[in-house]
Chains A and B, each alone.
Chain A
Amino acid sequence: MKFSDYLRIAFRNIRRQKLRSILTIFAVVIGATSVTIMLALVTGAKGFFLGQVEANGTLQQVAISPKADITDFNDANHGNNCDTCVKLTDEIVAKVKAVPHVIGVARFVNDGTLDAITYGGKKLTLEQTASYDANGIIVNNMLAGRDINASDTTGVITITSDYADKFGFKNKYDQLVGKEVQLQTRSFYTGIGADVQPPPQCDGPCDAAQQQQNQKPTILTAKIVGIADTSSNSKTVRIPLEWMHGMQQFQQYQQTQADRDAQQNACKNVRGNCPPVQPHYTLIVQDMLAKNGYGSLIAKVDNSKNAAAAATEIKKLGVGAADAEASIKQQLTIFNILGLVLGGIGGIALAVAAIGVVNTMVMAILERTREIGVMRAVGAKRSTVRALFTFEASLLGFCGGVVGVAVGFGLTRIANVFVNKQLAGQGVRAHDIIGLPLWLILAVIGIATLIGMLAGLYPAARAARLDPVEALRYE
Chain B
Amino acid sequence: MAAIIELKNVTRTYKLGDEVLNALNNVSFIVNEGDFVAITGPSGSGKSTLANIIGGLDRADSGSVVVDNTDLGHTRDAKLSTYRNQHIGFVFQSFNLQGNNTALENVMLPLVFARMKNKDRKARAKECLEAVGLGDRLKHKPTQLSGGQRQRVAIARALAVKPKIIIADEPTGNLDSSKGEEIMKLLKELNKQGITLLVITHDLNVARMAGRVAEIHDGKITERRG
Contacts and interface: CB of A to CB of B under 8 A. Distances in A.
Contact of A380 (B55, B81, B86, B157): B81
Interface in A362-394: 370-371, 373-384
B109 interface: yes
A370 B78 contact: no
Given A370-B96, A371-B98, A377 B113 contact: no
B100 A16 contact: yes
A378 B109 contact: yes
Contacts of A371: 98
B77 interface: yes
Contact of A376 (B81, B98, B101, B161): B81
A91 interface: no
Contact of A5 (B55, B57, B85, B112): B112
A12 B77 contact: no
A378 B57 contact: no
B58 interface: yes
B113 A375 contact: yes
Interface residues of A, number: 24
Interface residues of B, number: 26
A382 B115 contact: no
Contact of B81 (A5, A16, A381): A381
Interface string A9-44: 100100010000000000000000000000000000
B82 interface: yes
Contacts of B77: 381-382
A382 B112 contact: no
Contacts of B70: none
Contacts of A373: 96
A3 to B, nearest CB: 11
Chain A interface mostly: helix
Contacts of A375: 109, 113
A376 B112 contact: no
Interface in A454-475: 468-469, 472
Given A2-B115, A371-B98, A469-B52, A378 B110 contact: yes
B36 interface: no
A438 interface: no
Contacts of B114: 379
B2 to A, nearest CB: 24
Contacts of A469: 52, 57-58
A9 B108 CA distance: 12
A1 interface: yes
B52 A380 contact: no
Given A377-B84, A378-B85, A1 B100 contact: no
A379 B57 CA distance: 10
B81 A379 contact: yes
Contacts of A378: 84-85, 90, 109-110, 113, 157
A5 B96 CA distance: 21
Given A16-B100, A374-B98, A469-B52, A379 B78 contact: no
B94 to A, nearest CB: 9
A374 B81 contact: no
Nearest to A379: B85
A370 B52 CA distance: 16
Interface in B136-185: 157, 161
Nearest to A471: B57
A384 B113 CA distance: 8
B126 to A, nearest CB: 18
Contacts of A2: 115
Interface in B57-113: 57-58, 77-78, 81-82, 84-86, 90, 92, 96, 98, 100-101, 109-110, 112-113
A29 to B, nearest CB: 25
Contacts of B82: 379, 381
A468 B57 contact: yes
Nearest to A377: B90
B223 to A, nearest CB: 24
A1 B109 CA distance: 10
Contacts of B118: 4
B91 to A, nearest CB: 10
Nearest to B167: A377
Most chain-A CB neighbours within 10 Å: which of B85, B109, B114? Answer: B109
Contact of A374 (B55, B85, B96, B115): B96
A380 B113 contact: yes
A9 B98 CA distance: 12
A383 B81 CA distance: 10
B51 to A, nearest CB: 10
Nearest to A464: B77
Contact of A379 (B92, B98, B100, B113): B113
A375 B115 CA distance: 14
Contacts of B85: 378-379
A207 B113 CA distance: 107
30 contacts: A1-B112, A1-B115, A2-B115, A9-B112, A12-B100, A371-B98, A374-B109, A375-B113, A376-B57, A376-B84, A377-B55, A377-B57, A377-B84, A377-B90, A377-B96, A378-B90, A378-B109, A378-B113, A379-B81, A379-B82, A379-B86, A379-B114, A379-B161, A380-B81, A380-B113, A381-B78, A381-B82, A381-B113, A382-B77, A472-B96
Given A371-B98, A472-B96, 6 more contacts: A1-B115, A376-B81, A378-B109, A378-B110, A379-B161, A384-B113
Interface of A: 1-2, 4-5, 9, 12, 16, 370-371, 373-384, 468-469, 472
Interface of B: 52, 55, 57-58, 77-78, 81-82, 84-86, 90, 92, 96, 98, 100-101, 109-110, 112-115, 118, 157, 161
What are the 3 A-B residue pairs with the smallest beta carbon separation, nearest first? A379-B85, A378-B110, A379-B113
